[in-house]
A = this chain, B = another copy of it.
Amino acid sequence: MSTASTRVPQQERSRATRARLLEATVDCLVEYGWSGTTTTVVAARAGVSRGAQLHHYPTRAALVTAAVAHLADRRAAELRTEAEALPAGPQRLDRVVDLLGVAFTGPLFVAALELWVAARTDAELRRALVPLEARVGREMHRLTVALLGVDERRPGVREAVQATLDLLRGLGVANLLNDDSARRTALLHTWKRQLAALLTPDAGPPERATPGPERDRQ
């Protein structure tokens, strides 16, 4: 075998090993939380040797940060693909908000929240996460602007997109211990009308809400 043909499979094997480790990390964060997501547990779940795991990700902070970055990139790509199938016109906004609502209650949100909270009291994790949090936040904002097909240079658009993402983050937290989907659906139904009004300068005031859900929470 030539050197070149040995190297390519080797690179592919490395890439596959890293992908298995990163997927296993997110699975472990969702299933066991930060405290249960040790490098040993992740390596076992991925079916990867301790040596290979340490070679690719020498620290727990490096492993979990890479895992969230990897999943964030994958989810962004998936959202773009799903959005290509969406209709133009007023229905598009509703469907984009629905897609984002799913993203903010899914495994990536839960895994990231585990890390954000743990990083508050873990200096090494915090150093690794702060730049990632900023990057993921910027990309999520840009992606939302693109999915909605709005022009951020127009007054109010940037703030409306920000408020939408902050609201979705709050709804994601409200969904941690209970299935909050009925309340979330009703609340987002109202929010879609407000958002449409904010994004469309010529529209009237936001539509009054329909009768609401029965549950509230902090």
The residues of A with any CB-CB pair to B shorter than 8 Å are 31-36, 110, 112-114, 116-122, 126, 129-130, 133-134, 136-138, 140-141, 155-156, 158-160, 162-163, 165-174, 176-178, 183, 186-187, 190-191, 194, 197-198, 201, 203-206, 208-209, 211-212, 215-218
Distance (whole angstroms) from the CB of A149 to the closest CB of chain B? 18
In the complex the two chains form, is B35's CB within 8 Å of A160's CB? no
Cβ of A129: which chain B residues have Cβ within 8 Å of it?
A: 177
Q: How far is it, in angstroms, between the C-alpha of A63 and the C-alpha of B194 when the chains are bound?
A: 42
Q: How far is it, in angstroms, between the C-alpha of A121 and the C-alpha of B34 when the chains are bound?
A: 10
Cβ of A218: which chain B residues have Cβ within 8 Å of it?
A: 112, 133, 136-137, 140-141, 165, 169
> A37: nearest residue on chain B (CB-CB)?
B121
> A138: nearest residue on chain B (CB-CB)?
B216
Distance (whole angstroms) from the CB of A97 to the closest CB of chain B? 13
> A104: nearest residue on chain B (CB-CB)?
B218
Distance (whole angstroms) from the CB of A191 to the closest CB of chain B? 6
In the complex the two chains form, is B33's CB within 8 Å of A156's CB? no
Neighbour of A33 across the interface among B113, B118, B170, B216, CB < 8 A = B118
Known: A110-B120, A121-B33, A133-B217. A209 touches B173 (CB 8 A): no
Cβ of A168: which chain B residues have Cβ within 8 Å of it?
A: 170
Cβ of A140: which chain B residues have Cβ within 8 Å of it?
A: 216-218
Q: How far is it, in angstroms, between the C-alpha of A173 and the C-alpha of B134 when the chains are bound?
A: 13
Distance (whole angstroms) from the CB of A215 to the closest CB of chain B? 8
In the complex the two chains form, is A121's CB within 8 Å of B217's CB? no
Sample 5 A-B pairs with CB under 8 A, ordered by A number: A31-B121, A32-B121, A162-B183, A163-B190, A165-B218
Known: A33-B121, A110-B120, A177-B116. A216 touches B186 (CB 8 A): no
In the complex the two chains form, is A187's CB within 8 Å of B166's CB? yes
Q: How far is it, in angstroms, between the C-alpha of A137 and the C-alpha of B216 when the chains are bound?
A: 5
In the complex the two chains form, is A212's CB within 8 Å of B162's CB? yes
In the complex the two chains form, is A117's CB within 8 Å of B121's CB? no
